[in-house]
Amino acid sequence: MYKPEKRFMRLAIDEAKKGNKSGKYPIGAVIVKDGKVVASSFNGLPGDIDPTVHAEILAIRKAAVKLKTRYLDDCILYTTNEPCAMCAGAAVWANMRGIVFGASVKDLEKFWKMRRDEKTSKRNFVFVHAKKIISGVKPKMFLVENFMREECLELFDLYEAGLRR
């Protein structure tokens, strides 16, 4: 059983805060291998026309470049939000060892439902649990859910506060 480390999730939270300062959704991701950070990123949305620039995807891309391989064996993805279907799928295709996330898909769904407005009502949302994406993967990936959830939920408030400015 993998024991997640708070220091890595704190780095993901710091990435999310960096993104929030530049007007991005405050989601952060860190990729760890052998107890060392390989790559990190914050979300590229909104504002980027590439819909795949999620924090997790950007961190996976950076890790692949740094490690010079598309196979991120023994790497662990830490992310402040439960990865979407695309991001969890990317972790699978990269052969990652596991995923650790903070706030859940349910938390994110609740947040967006509370703030439905003209912009968000036109968006498509896919609320699929990462567990569903990684089930059946061989070799088996581990999933640590709701790790440091409360700290990660505070990022939603940070985003909301930025909208009110």
Q: What are phi and psi of 41, to 5 degrees?
A: -165, 160
Contacts of 149 (CB under 8 A, 6+ apart): 102, 103, 104, 107
β-pairing, 142-144 vs 98-103, is: parallel
Question: Of 9-18, 45-54, 81-90, which gets the smallest average pLDDT?
Answer: 45-54
Dihedral of CA atoms 143, 145, 148, 152 in degrees, nearest 10, equals 110
Tell me how far apart the alpha carbons of residues 155 and 6 are, in angstroms, rounded to a whole number: 16
d(C-alpha 83, C-alpha 73), whole Å: 18
> Is 56 an annotated catalytic residue?
yes
Q: For a pLDDT cut of 90, what percent of the chain falls above it?
A: 69
Catalytic annotation, pick one of 56, 109, 145, 154: 56
Q: What is the pTM of this model?
A: 0.92
